[in-house]
Amino acid sequence: MPVHLTSRRQFITQLGAAMALSQLPAAGAEVDEGLIAILNDTHIGAQQAADAAIPANLRSTIEWLLALPKRPAAVIINGDLALKDGRRGDYERFAKLIAPLQAAGLPLHLTMGNHDDRAVFYDVMKESSSAVESKFVSMVELPGVNLFLLDSLKATMVTQGLLGPAQIDWLVKLLNTHADKPALLFAHHNPRLGGEPLHFPGGLEDSEPLWRALSTRKHVKAYIHGHIHHRNFFEHEGIHILNTPATSYVADKKTSTTGWTMLRLTAEGAEATTHAHQADHAWNGVKVPLRWR
């Protein structure tokens, strides 16, 4: 059976935008309101063997999350959920792998990447189109921060990403009406600024209009992405850019490894801790402090 991500989530409409509120935790479970788990690039395929590295990595990450003494306030899987071109079997396999998170009541939120197919995802995962036409977007309200989940999927199997004017307008309206808390943005694609130029060609095509909208809104603190299958920390016009490691596989085995990120909110900003599947890798356990502007 597919996982119904909306089964315990209340949707409301404000300024024409659907805002996905955090799922309620399982009965009796303690929630750590300042902790956010970030995964991306799971690349799950229908035909992958159970003991193959890609599904095993996701499974071990989920087991780690379930073993935490307190539940994260949100679990984000930031795009490229499917192996290559977003086939039905990929999402059916993905749904089975993430089912333990849903069963335990962890608040799970997904975004689209360039290896996803939005229509197939909607059908298998029993999701539906959201406030922006042809985009899967949401806002998640947490006690200390607001999360904005963006859809940078331009087209399946097209490396470059695109938000589009309608999605940027939607984002700006919500940012304007939710300026009381820090805003963290999640999208699969890297921006074409403030980071490593080597990866700009495959990044977000409308990075510049997006940043013009973000830079003047001081409550926007960070933009968090995957796509590159690496790990970096940059900053552009006061906004932190976090490139978080892939769960599935790496682009360069000499420098990268697979893993996930735990973001701890602090009084000054946040602290990002990398957890690697390769226990002896230099990234594993490294904490990077992020001071909000």
The one-letter code for the residue type at 2 is: P
Provide the β-strand partners of residue 204.
161, 191
CA–CA distance, 273 with 233 (Å, rounded to integer) = 12
Q: What is the pLDDT of residue 17?
A: 30
At the topology level of CATH, where does 41-291 sit? Purple Acid Phosphatase; chain A, domain 2 (3.60.21)
pLDDT in tens, the chain (293 residues): 223 343 333 322 222 333 333 334 444 579 999 999 999 999 999 999 999 999 999 999 999 999 999 999 999 999 999 999 999 999 999 999 999 999 999 999 999 999 999 999 999 999 887 799 999 999 999 999 999 999 999 999 999 999 999 999 999 999 999 999 999 999 999 999 999 999 999 999 999 999 999 999 999 999 999 999 999 999 999 999 999 999 999 989 999 999 999 999 999 999 999 999 999 999 999 999 999 99
Q: What is the pLDDT of residue 129?
A: 73
**pTM (predicted TM-score):** 0.91
| CB contact at 8 A, 278 and 253 | no
DSSP 66-127: HTSSSEEEEEEEES--BSSS--HHHHHHHHHHHHHHHHTT--EEEE--TT--HHHHHHHHT-
CA–CA distance, 220 with 172 (Å, rounded to integer) = 11
- SS3 of 284, please? coil
- 254's CB contacts (< 8 A; 6+ apart) are none
Half-sphere exposure of 89 (CA within 13 A, CB side): 5
Domain ranges of the chain: 41-291
SS3 helix, strand, coil % of the chain, rounded to 5?
25, 30, 50
CA–CA distance, 114 with 189 (Å, rounded to integer) = 8
